[in-house]
Structure 1
């Protein structure tokens, strides 16, 4: 059995104060992918990643983004969009970066995002699986939907954040097709995990009627997710195991009572190639740990019977 979890940790230092370390020690995961680690390498908490090998791409934007993959055994290969990552074995205290081996050329359009700490990919030693970890930009609203009185803390930007996200989606679709096929050529299943900042269907947003003009649930964003999925390319593993369930949601605002009412969004995914998806036997969302939320997101945990 291979247990894989993904979590937008929303700051590794804050999440450790809420009990992330205990969750990591007791949940029994073989692989954990983390988004928004939000810490320079020299500011990581002691034992930040527990008893795991870690590959961490912090990016070059202070206090933003950062993606990590934790594994029980050292990965066979690592691929990322930037030049260097932190690679550290359990128990090591020194800090170091190494060039990521087995680099592949960036897909057209991704170069502008290469230093942002949004993507890292590893070939597992535990199983013939390539695990990719993505933190996709949140985006914004197109200009014609921007009404200042309804935008909360966000300020109108003429659609700039929206256009940037759509550009990213187009470029990443090319990369996703390329890396999925490359994994198959190496004789490996492929799994894309992470915070995609898009809810796919009405089952993925508690207040879907009201959310149809919100970033993350716009028709063009939902169409992008749909275009990545098919029985021959990638399968939404959680939805395959819970086909008619509202949710299970993985993100709730810190504001108000949305968490208590389970009025959330499902924007954290495990998208697997069909052979791997067929081995999935259990998918759960850990809404809290010992009564405490680890983040505004919750871990999405899937067991694969390999």
Structure 2
């Protein structure tokens, strides 16, 4: 979730005043063109659409996190050849067709990255991967639980996040949550009062001054931790976020997370992704904290191991 971008529907569409209620532009005859145009921006970054090249393993009990530049980013990979709309399944193409062009490009890029990375990890053609969701652990609704790889069968778990100009995919040997936010101007104090716990608010006010860049970064530190934890748990952003205290004063915090009528233990920490973004990773308590940062496509700058 990217706070400054406004409110989105469950399928990633946006409903501006000039758009229809379902997030489309109201021009049904151009939907296929818009999907193909979006795919054009991400074509060569995944190589052949049936490729399983670049196979890579996820270390046992560890987490690998891939990052990529979206079409909005000035350092995004140039994409000059058409064809990657074929990587998307029918549901993904339909979702992209309902979106405004800029958002469609970001969505298609994200899906091409997701499928291409998983193709290397799972050693199957990207177009043959089937994606779905686990049931929500809070309400048992299969429509909004954490993402999963339906085929091929695998014990690996995934978490996906994107902001204006970057995307992240975490692949782990167990439940995992990841979130990224680009630093943009927001009313951090107003937002903090609606989503931060009393202890988090006290930390924010104790360590930063109102209206400063440091205050905004501190807010994003709290926000990305909340998102990462709740995405890992599988409930997503729901209910009163002030009930979840993510201990921003600690490099890695152990939390008790409310899930339905029970509490679960998870750890959360922030990720070193540079000065322009704040990101966070969360996994269940007792799982290793090791993670590896990689970039996609692989010929970009190398990541590191932590």
Indicate whether the TM-score tops 0.5: no
Higher helix share: 2
TM interval, shorter chain, is: 0.3 to 0.5
TM-score by length of 2: 0.35
TM-score by length of 1: 0.35
